[in-house]
Every structure is written in C-alpha cells, then in structure tokens.
Structure 1
Amino acid sequence: MWVYFLLVIAILAWGAHLAWRWKQARDFAPQLLALRQQEGELPPSVSQKEFTDLYLRAEGPRAGTYVYACAAFMTVTLAPVSSLFNSVWTAIWQATGSDPVFEVGTFIHTFSFFLAVMGLTILILAIAMRRYYALMPPNLRQVIRHLKDAHS
C-alpha cells in the first residue's frame, strides 16, 4: 500500500512539474514575440494572444503531457485492473478444476498478471502516441513563417 501511495505522490509531483513547464512556456511567449517583432521577423500586427496560442502548440511540453496522462491513467486504474484480472483468473481457475499450479499468487499467475499489465500499458501508450503524431503541431519556424505570411 505504501508503494502505491508513493507512486501517487510521484505522479502528483510530476503533474505539478508539467504545469510549471506549461506556465513557463506561456510566460516566455510574449518575450519571444517582442524579440521577433523587434528583429523584423514578425510584423507588429501579430497579437500576443495569437502568437502565444501558436507558440504553445509548437513548443509546449506536449509529449511529456501525453506520457504523463498515460502514467496517471495507469496509476489510477492499477487497482481496478488488478482486481478484474484476479477475478477473471479465479473464475477460469475454478472452472478448469482448480489445479494448484494455477492458483492466485503462484509464479504463473504473477507472470501472467505482469504480461497483462505490460500489454495494457503498451496499448495505452500506442494509442496516445498515435494521437500525438496524428495531431503533430508545426515547429516554431513554421509558425513564424505562417504568421508572417498571414499578416503581410
């Protein structure tokens, strides 16, 4: 139980760190806009709100946020998944004659549980990364070029 409690605390700390990184990126965007406008790379008609939104899409910690969401989801669902797996395992074990080799807590049960959790984790990460790459934002250079063309 203490290990799970420490895991939850680590996830919360990780979430706080990610929120801080998003805030840093949001706070840096107006400075970067002023610098780019001063250098003549962006026209003065580009608004701070427009640039900040596009800058966060391009340079915000999106990948870390996706991985964090997966880790938080797995942390929250670890107990229900464990309970569901053990219920299904016990039902199958009893339906097949209750062979002591396959009893809950034996090596084969523990290894099967490990494989199931790893499979679920890989599936969730694959779905998240597929979504991340499908919605891949442009890089900062492309954002600046687009803004320059739109406001010129």
Structure 2
Amino acid sequence: MPVYIALVVAVIGWGALLAFRWKKAKDFAPELLDARKKSGELPDAVQPGEFTDLYLRAEGPRASTYIYACAAFMTAGLAPLSMLFNAVWAALWTLAGQSPVFEQGTLIHTFSFFLAVMGLAIALLAVAMHRYYTLMPPNLKQVIRNLREAHS
C-alpha cells in the first residue's frame, strides 16, 4: 500500500508540474507575439487571445499531457481493474473445477495479471498516441504563416 500511495503522490506532483508548464507557455505567448510584431513577422492586427490559443496548440506540452493522462488513468484504475481481473479469474477458476494450479496467488495467476495490465497499458497508449498524431496541430512556423496570410 505505501508503494501505491507513493505512486499516487508522484502522479499528483507530475500533474502539478505539467499544469505549471502549461501556465508558463500561456504567459510566454504575449511576449512572443510582441517580439514577432516588432520584427515584422506578424501584423499588428493579430490579437493576443487569438495568438495565445494558436501558440498553445502548436507549442504547448501536448505529448506530455497525453502521457500523463494515460499514467493517471492507469494509477487511478489499478485497484478497480485488479479487483475486476481477480473476480473474473475466480469465476473462471470456480467454473473450471477449482484446480489448485490456477488458484489466485499462483504463478500463472500473477503472470496473467501482469500480462493483462501490460496489455491494457499498451492499448491505452496506442489509442492516446493515435489520437495525438491524428489531431496534431501545425507547428509555430505554420501558425505564424497562417496568421500573416489571414491578416494581410
């Protein structure tokens, strides 16, 4: 239990660090807009709110956020998922005649639990990364080019 509590605390700390990184990126956007306006890369008609939104989409810590969401889901879901796995295992074990080889706590049970958790983690990351790359926004150079064209 102390290891799980330490894991929860670590995930909460990671979330706080990630929120701080998003805040830093949001606070930096107006400074970058002013610098790009002074250098002539962007016209004066570009509004700070519009640029901040586009900047966060392009340069915010999106990949870290997706990975964090997966880690938080796996951490929060570890206890209920293990209870579900054990309930299904016990039901199948009872229906199969209660062979001592497949009793909970044996090597085959522990290894099957490990495979189930790893399979779930891999599937969750595959879905998250597919979504990340499918919805990938343009990079900062493209954002600046699009804003320059839109406000010209």
With the shorter chain as reference, the TM-score category is over 0.9
Q: Secondary structure at the match of 1:136?
A: coil
Partner Cα distance (2:126, 2:30) in 1? 35
Partner Cα distance (1:44, 1:35) in 2? 11
**5+ residue gaps in structure 1?**
none
Partner Cα distance (1:25, 1:95) in 2? 56
Partner Cα distance (2:14, 2:136) in 1? 23
Shift >6 Å, 4+ stretches:
none
TM-score, with structure 2 as normaliser? 0.99
Paired position in structure 2 for 1:18:
18
Partner Cα distance (2:150, 2:91) in 1? 63
Quote the offset at 1:75 in angstroms: 0.6
Correspondence 1:31-110 to 2 at 5 A = 31-110=31-110
Partner Cα distance (1:10, 1:106) in 2? 30
Quote the offset at 1:35 in angstroms: 0.5
Correspondence 1:124-143 to 2 at 5 A = 124-143=124-143
TM-score, with structure 1 as normaliser? 0.99
Identity %: 68
Quote the offset at 1:94 in angstroms: 1.1
Report how many aligned residue pairs link the two structures: 152
Partner Cα distance (1:78, 1:21) in 2? 27
Partner Cα distance (1:91, 1:121) in 2? 24
**5+ residue gaps in structure 2?**
none
Matched, 1:122 2:119: no
**CA deviation map 1:80-138 (0-9, x unaligned):** 10000001101111111111111100110000000000001111111111111110000
Q: Please give the root-mean-square deviation of Cα atoms over the aligned residues, in Å.
A: 0.5
Letter in 2 for 1:134: T
